Structure 1
Amino acid sequence: MTFIRALYVSIRFWLTWLGFAVAFVLAYAFPVLLPLVQVALVVFGLLVIVEALLLFRPTPAKALFARREAPDRFSNGDENPVTIFLESRYPFRTPVEVIDEIPVQFQRRDVLFRATLSPRESQLIRYQLRPTRRGEYRFGALNVFVMTPLQLLKRRFRFDADRMVPVYPSFLQMRQYELLAATNRLNEVGIKRIRRIGHSMEFEQVRPYTPGDDIRTVNHRATARRTNPAGIELMVNAYQDERSQPVYCLIDKGRVMRAPFEGLTLLDYAINAALVLSNIALLKQDRAGILTFANEVNQVLPAERKPGQLQKILELLYRQRTGFLETDYESLTLKVRHTIRQRSLLLLFTNFDTANALNRQLPYLRRMAKDHLLLVVFFENTELRSLLDKPALTTEEVYMKTIGEKFSFEKRQIVRQLQQYGIQTILTAPQNLTANTVNKYLELKARGMI
């Protein structure tokens, strides 16, 4: 039974049988061809037997080795590398076909690779997978079909069956921002250099003046000591940002966050941005915390700066799911009031499509803004933007564009209305969410607002 389950025939085998059928039909009309066709059939049968013996040689377990090498966890929304290692132990050249049974969440049936292995040769096959949902992803078996140079029969080998890989929020994006922040190259991903308006009172050092420094920070005594016949070298006092400030990411998990964009939901974009921002806040010596809510407040992770805080944030965000109920901002306001006692930066990731939707929640936002610095982050409809950028050529397109302009105007009106009450806002496309959020955080830090 093991032999039968591992034995497959190739398309070349069936095409050869089709050729013999046609040859026998022709031999019926031309009898002189019959002996030749019969001899060819016998030779073909012998070749099939020899090929089967070569494929199923006496040491079947050592004939071929394969292994799938994948990360212990995948990063949501990113391209994750997967490597297939192949090693042939056959004494002849072997064409192989590799079919990897990837998780059903990807809905792909084209993960087929072909290669040719020389005797005792090993090869690597690399491909990438981009998950769009967090959770557990299960790989099936790694199927390797081995053939001889005749390629009439195939022998199937199965490796690495039933492996589970969890998909976490985008930690690859987090590491990218962390590396760029460490090397002062955040501008490469759209992070702007913020001119400092004022400064905190935490003195750091005295350093030489550089263009752009506030002239009010000149240290006259240090400048006098550095003055020499060659000229005057200005020295300025450098101040560091306020540290250990609480930064909370409030993540809305209601139905408004189920909207998809490029395979990911708005909740996934918010979670990826919250993870990156929390890491940047910890690098800036601030305290990072998370609060998730929908029709009720679900989970609260107090803002801390302990070594394991980032891992706690990652594990908390991994389990978040959107619901179908409307968000309850009243319970959020009460929870914030009783849980977060110190003035903090609150980044609220949500979405408002109309001014009426904002007006229903505005009293609760204003109440939170009294005690904390509130930053509301919501999303621009990119499909609507592409519709508005195209010229209207028909009457229907004119009506569609007019309706689109109304929705776009309401988004801008929401921004102005929030700013009237001193609430900071970010209106951004989903793909720019992380960069714009980090920019705003650094701007607020530079302005000394937190």
Structure 2
Amino acid sequence: MKLIRPLFVATHLWFALIAFVLLFVAAYAFPILFPLIQIAFVIFLVLIGLDYWLLFRRKNRTNGSAFFARREIPDRLSNGDENPLTIYLENQYSFQVDVEIIDEIPYQFQRRDVLFKARLNPRETQAIRYELRPTRRGEYSFGSVNVFVLTPLGLLKRRYQFGQGKMVAVYPSFLQMRQYELLAATNRLNEVGIKRIRRIGHSMEFEQVRPYSTGDDVRTVNWKATARRTDSQGASLMINAYQDERSQPVYCLIDKGRVMQSPFDGLTLLDYAINASLVLSNIALLKQDRAGILTFSDHVGQLLPADRRTGHMLKILELLYRQKTRFLETDYESLYTSVRSHIRQRSLLLLFTNFETVSAMHRQLPYLRRLAKDHLLLIIFFENTELRSLLDQPATDTEQIYLKTIGEKFAYEKNQIVKELTQYGIQTILTAPQNLTANTVNKYLELKARGMI
């Protein structure tokens, strides 16, 4: 059975059998062809036996196999990103082989087209690279790598199976986080839509008193220190030196209620918010601020206090990875109570949620105003991109005019929400899901440059 189970019939063999059936049928009309067809069929059976012998005769001394394959996969995958995978092939036969590779990827991808073909010379190695884009966090189970080997005769296939399965966790978009971190280190954040923010004035976190240098702001002259130095060491202006304000608490408040379950490009709004929170937390830590996370829905979920000690980014990543969807109505009263109890210092609160109508925002407005009274509140909600594409298309009949009218009403309400929140001193971002991360980081850098945090 060990020599039969891995054996499969190639397409060429089926075509040859069909051809022989037709030839034998034709031999009834032309009996003179029958002996020739019989000889050809015997030769055909010999070729099948030879093909079988070539496939199964040789075994490698190291692993007992004449062919070797290995899948190389990261220890964890990045949600919403294209993750690279590599399959390494090694032909240990003494002749050229054609191979078909079927990789058993997790069912979450819902793909049935992961089939690759290659041709390897004797003792040759090849690498096949492809990408997978997961759209859900959690554990993904990879199966075996199935390799079907054909000899130059191409009549039979021998199946090899490598790697009996591997469990891989899909985390929030750490690839996007690394991209922003690298661009920030090389001062190239503008490549991903991050604007250069002009710093308005200077921060008021005192660093030291030092001698005046050309180009220093004369408004920072410390006249008392100048007078003391003039008396003791001669005339010399002294100024107050300031540094960027650091260790400001920055919290990402992530709504896990039903309003965040709308899909866009395979990901839910919740996953977009989680990916943006991971990037923003990393940027905040690079800016020497403290980053924290709070999740909520019908009740408050997990709270990670703002911190910037070594290993804090890993805690944020693990917390965001474990978040699960809840399809219940969001309770903002519980959110306000939890923030008031656990976040005592004035902080920047980035609230990721979604409001579709003005009335929905009005129901939560009292709690939002209370949050904005004690903290700097930034509400981030989403533009309906499908609705926007509908509005951009010209109407050609009565039905489309009706649909565009309804769409204009919803789009107007989104803009009305922004205006009403701004009237109460609440910062807002209305963004398309694909622009969420860049717009959020831009707003954070703007608020920091304006000295509001």
- Asked if the contact 1:241–1:445 (Cα under 8 Å) also holds between the matched residues in 2, the reply is no
Question: Which of 183, 192, 199 pairs up with 1:196?
Answer: 199
Matches within 5 A, 1:19-34: 19-34=19-34
- Alignment partner of 1:425 is 2:424: no
Q: 1:10 to 1:218 in 2, by over 3 A?
A: farther
- Alignment partner of 1:123 is 2:123: no
Q: How far apart are residue 198 of structure 1 and its match?
A: 2.1
- Alignment partner of 1:42 is 2:21: no
- Asked if the contact 1:207–1:237 (Cα under 8 Å) also holds between the matched residues in 2, the reply is no
- Alignment partner of 1:6 is 2:6: yes
- What residue identity is the alignment partner of 2:442? N
Q: TM-score, normalised by structure 2?
A: 0.93
Judge which range, 116-125 or 52-61, deviates more: 52-61
Q: TM-score, normalised by structure 1?
A: 0.93
* 1:54 match: 54
* 2:376 match: 373
Alignment size in residue pairs: 433
- Alignment partner of 1:305 is 2:305: no
Matches within 5 A, 1:194-233: 194-202=197-205, 209=215
Q: Distance in 2 between matches of 1:164 and 1:390?
A: 45
Matches within 5 A, 1:246-395: 246-395=249-398
Q: 1:275 to 1:366 in 2, by over 3 A?
A: same
Q: Distance in 2 between matches of 1:135 and 1:9?
A: 38
1:15 aligns to what SS in structure 2? helix
- Asked if the contact 2:352–2:381 (Cα under 8 Å) also holds between the matched residues in 1, the reply is yes
- What residue identity is the alignment partner of 1:170? S
For the aligned residue pairs, the C-alpha RMSD in angstroms reads 1.9
* Fraction of identical pairs, as percent: 73
Q: Distance in 2 between matches of 1:410 and 1:214?
A: 46
Q: 1:78 to 1:214 in 2, by over 3 A?
A: farther
1:78 aligns to what SS in structure 2? coil
* 2:229 match: none
Deviation by residue 1:196-217 (Cα, 9 ceiling, x = unmatched): 12221235798775xxx97856
The gaps in structure 2 that reach 5 residues or longer are 224-238
The gaps in structure 1 that reach 5 residues or longer are 221-235
Q: Distance in 2 between matches of 1:386 and 1:219?
A: 58
* 1:225 match: none
Q: Distance in 1 between matches of 2:114 and 2:353?
A: 37
Q: Distance in 1 between matches of 2:255 and 2:374?
A: 20
Question: Which of 164, 173, 177 pairs up with 2:176?
Answer: 173
- What residue identity is the alignment partner of 1:36? L
Q: Distance in 2 between matches of 1:100 and 1:410?
A: 48
Q: Distance in 2 between matches of 1:308 and 1:423?
A: 32
Deviation by residue 1:202-261 (Cα, 9 ceiling, x = unmatched): 35798775xxx97856999xxxxxxxxxxxxxxx98743210000000000000000000
* 2:84 match: 81
- What residue identity is the alignment partner of 1:424? Q
Q: How far apart are residue 406 of structure 1 and its match?
A: 0.4
2:70 aligns to what SS in structure 1? strand
Judge which range, 239-248 or 65-74, deviates more: 239-248
Matches within 5 A, 1:156-171: 156-171=159-174
* 2:235 match: none
Q: How far apart are residue 291 of structure 1 and its match?
A: 0.3
Structure 1 consecutive aligned stretches of length 4 or more whose deviation exceeds 4 Å: 203-209, 213-220, 236-239
* 1:233 match: none
- Alignment partner of 1:91 is 2:82: no
